[in-house]
Structures are given as C-alpha cells and as structure tokens.
Structure 1
Amino acid sequence: MSWTVVPASQFGAQMARWDTLHAAGAASPLLAADFVAALLTSFADGRELLAWHDTDGITDATTILSPGGFGVWHTFQPSQAPVGLWLQRGDGAPAALLRPLLASLPGPALLVGLTQCDPMLMARPADAACVRTADYIRTARITLRGAGGFDAFWEARGKNLRSNLKKQRNRLRQEGVTPRLEICRAPEQMAQAVADYGQLEGSGWKAAGGTAVDAANAQGQFYRAMLEAFAARGAASVYRYWLGDQLAAMDLCVEGGDCIVVLKTAYDEQLAGQLSPALLMREEACRQLFDDNRFGRIEFYGRVMEWHLRWTDDVRTMYHLNGYRWPGLARLHAMRRSDAGAE
C-alpha cells in the first residue's frame, strides 16, 4: 500500500485513473474527471499536487491538494467546486489513509484537510486520535423519487409559495406574456449559454462586487469548458426561462450519479419587485424533472437559504475533515479552536 504524489499538472495523463475510481464510487458529477480538469485549467496556480493511493496495484483513493499555511495541505477548493476533491473506493472512512498521505507530501506536512465533504458521498467519521471533523454548512436537496409525483410534491409545499406563484402566472396571462422554459444540452450551445448567463448575472448585484460570471473571465472560461465537456457525453443542461422575448432566469446544471446539480442560478433583478422569475422557472423545471423520472434528486449544494426551505425539508450538514501527523497536534489544534471560539 502506498501513495504516489505528482504535480497536478500531470492530471491529464492520469484522468483515466481518476475516471475509473469515480465510476466505482458514489459518482457525484462534481467529482468527475472533466469537472476537475476544468477547475485545474482555470484556477490552479501551479502549486497543486495530485495524489493517489494503490493497494495491490488497484487505486483506491485519489485527491488534488493545495498548500495552506506552514505544514498544512488541503483539498484544492476553488469557490466553483461545491465538494472537496477526494475520491475513495467503497464506503470506508479516509482516516487510515491520511497519516500515510502526510508522510508522502513534501516538506513538514503536519495536517491535511479534506474540505466541504458531503456525508452522502462519504460518511462522517467519529473524531479519533489523529482525525477531527467540523461542521461546514447545511445544504438542501429535493427528492424526486418516492414523493408521489410532482402534484403530490407541490401540494406539500407551503400555501404562500403556491398561491404567490399562481398569482404571478395569472398576472402574466392577463398581460399577454407567455412564459417558456428552454433546456439546452448540446456542446455547441454552451458558449452562448455561458455568455447569456454572464449578461444576466452581470446586470445584478454580483457585478458590483466583481464576482459575476463573464464569458471572458476565469469563471466564464471554466463554466464553458466544463459544460462543453459534460454536454459531449450528455450530462449538461442549461435552463433558460423566458417571459415572452425577455430572458428572465437561468440555471447551469450538471448531471450524473442519479442526480442533477444546480451549479448556478441567475435572474433579471429588474423583475424582482414584480415577479420571482427564478422561482417560476424552478416550478416548471421541477415539474419536468418529476415527469421525466431520470433522476432521484436535485442537489443545490449552496448554504441553505430561506427559499430552499420553501421547496424542501431534506437538509443535511456538510463537514470538513482534518487528519493530523500526530495525536498531540490534533489536541493542540482543538484547544486553539476552542479558545478562539470562547473569545
């Protein structure tokens, strides 16, 4: 049993290894090789490492790591990556692999952090001598199967949500405005989809903060390359919601592992005082996803918001996992965090 550690620039040569392990595990689309490759191309700074663990010649774990502070490594975690880049065969806890990994990393490697872990993909381990976990965020999903179909799901939503959206649809009808949901799936449609999304998001509050997607910036380049790669294998979908000829809202989504993940949502904020274009889009998209019966769930992965709770009560807590070189480091780190929390 051993770890191999190489510069992450070699990821392209190891994509088949990553793909094979991905297919053997929980298979979240957010851990697919083409998602990881696009992240590295757009956001890596050259210090990242690719590591994989073999047992009897079979790769049973792999990860992308970035250096943190002195002696610290953590999973490569651009904000565009909703979950930490760690893959492991089977349902075993990663704890036994972390100390050997630390021994294989360059420099005085004292701590390795697996960030933004999803307990649905990797069960949260109990704290131990060299392992500690901490809550990250609560996140929501909509379960599609076993809910009795869309009508039953919708009837279970709050009366205010259902009534409010019904009033908005009646108002649009009275004004002669026809809503339309368009779904793009072809690779050649993704460049324009990202450009349209950037214009929609760039007209809102994110533009002022410099965080909006733009076709020309690193975010836009990432989403275009990633969505094109997913679309080439039938695993990308972009939802556009039109009110007449006006583009009102969009979702950028990836698919796989029995789920569809909503990566990004934007809407025309000039409509916000009169309409809820993103919620109107969500209602129609949910109806179609229930009817299609292709997926078991819709994942959001962002921090749970009030609007999520109007759509679902299926919420779970994501977590960070730290592995330490020695038990004393784990105790010291826990003490320092406890003292900081008390201040």
Structure 2
Amino acid sequence: MLARLNIDPYLLLLVGTVGLASVLPARGIWADIAGGVADAGIALLFFLHGAKLSREAILDGARAWKLHLTVAATTFVLFPILGLAIRAIPGLEPSLATGVLFLTLLPSTVQSSIAFTAIAGGNVAAAVCSASFSNLAGIFITPVLTALLITGDSGGFSADPIIAISVQLLLPFVAGHLLRPWIGGFVTRNKQVLNYVDRGSILLVVYTAFGAAVIEGLWQKVTLAELGLIAVISLVLLAVVMTISTAVGKGLGFSRQDRIVLLFCGSKKSLATGVPLAGVLFPAAQVGAIILPLMFFHQIQLMVCAVLARRFGAENEKADALPAA
C-alpha cells in the first residue's frame, strides 16, 4: 500500500519517532540509556564503515580536495550569506532572526551526513573526510563568525566536541578498518545489516535530540504561527542550498558519487555541535530561543535527506541490475 501511494516507509518512521519523542521523551535514567544506545549505534555504524572501506577508497576520499573545499564553502560561506539575507527580512522577530543566522554559521553533521551518503550510494570515504573536517573546523570557525556577525565578542570554544568526535567516530572507524582483513568479507556480504545500522542510528539520534528539546519546554515556548514560520524558513533555506549545491557539483564536473557527498554534507547543520556552542557564545536566557530554529532545521533536514537518500539508493540498485539483465 505504501508503495502504491509512493510513501517512503522510512519517512513514516522518522515522523513517528518525532511524535514518540513529543509524547514520550526519555527522562532521567532512561534518557541516559537512550543516549548511550544512540552513541553505541553511531559507533557501530562507523566501525562497520571502516571494515567495509578498502585502503584505496579511503585514500581516494582524502585526495578529493576540490570536493572538500566545495563542501566547506557551502557550509561556511553560502549558508552564512543566506542567513544574513533572512535576518534582513523586515518584520522578522529579532530572536528568531538571530537563531536562523546562528544555525547557518554551524558546521555540518557527521553521522547523518555519512549515513545518508551511504544509503544513497555516494562516496562514503569522501563523506567521512568532508563531514569530519567540517565538524572539527566549525569548533573554531563558528565562534569567529558568531562574533563577527552576531555578538561582536571574541567568543570561545571547547575541546569537548573534538574529544567526542575522536572517541565516538574516528576510533571505531580506525578499529573497523584495521580488522577489515578478518571481517571485511562478512560485512560486504551482509550489506543489509549495514543499512539497518545506518537508518537505525539516525532514528535514535532524532529521538534523543528531539526528546531533550521537548523536556526543555519546546512546545510551551513558541506559538503555532512562529512554528509555522520557522518550518517555512527551514524548508526554503534547505531547498536553496540543495539546489545550488547540485548545480555547483554538476558545474565542477563531480561524479555522481561526489555530488551526493556535496548534497548531503553541504546541506546539513549539526545540532550536537550547535547546542553546546550556543551555550558558550550566548547568555543562558537567550540560548533556548537561539537554538529553536536549529532544532527545527535539524529535523527537517533529516526527513528530506532520508527521502532523497532512499530515492538515490533505489536508482543505484536499478542501475546495478542493468548489466546483470
């Protein structure tokens, strides 16, 4: 029935996860357990990707300097320009406008960018390099951009995100790659297992992130009109960035796999990095309003990218079946 209606089952899972987090967010010890399970799922995801990728594929991904620079330019140049344009809209509520601008200054996500790239059949090795570089660079670049465009202060940063990225993502990836001679064949023969880990880890991240926002009083802080406006701005912003990214990728002659990396890594903004940075860069009383647009954009980007990734993945499966036919 879902196929006849052209409805993506994974999109329904994402929407259902948001609904579950709204009515039954994890609290107390259960929040710690849910967060731990989500972290474990992400670590397993990177472990399996490390085991799947050959040494040659990783080196080729690191050499794609033109792609990495294009992703960085999309994240830290194109997005802020669009954020400044949105803030200049007459009549836009000041804290909302500031929150939208702040989200455009943030780095890309890591786990979801790579997971969607893998589902879509893109260059996973290049995605690992681009997304990781963007997230690490953002720890330094975002405070500087925030000081220049919003606060006018010197800002600051914490080393905690660097440690978290290294422990949760880099180490499992390296461990999986080192074990590739023994488990690489099993991982390659059981691609469906990797698909389940990809999609399951994203669902866990959505549940824990949105549930935490609900517990902090998300639905009591904003009106329905403001929610609608945030959703419209997020959709338009995402659509503009994805359209420009697609055009730039084709114009620069990137392969289809690299254009997928640019689309998914360049269009994301990290909630995991944005929330702690907002706590450092803004007064405590302003943080809730500042990160509200980010929370909405984060959920919308996951849902839109889930649909696109499944579509691209299905197209790859059809293309792979043609030689056999």
TM range (shorter): under 0.3
> TM-score with structure 2 length normalisation?
0.26
TM-score by length of 1: 0.25
Structure showing greater Rg: 1
Would you tell me which structure has more helix in proportion to its own residues?
Answer: 2
Which has the higher relative contact order, 1 or 2, with Cα contacts under 8 A spaced 6 or more apart? 2
More strand by percentage: 1
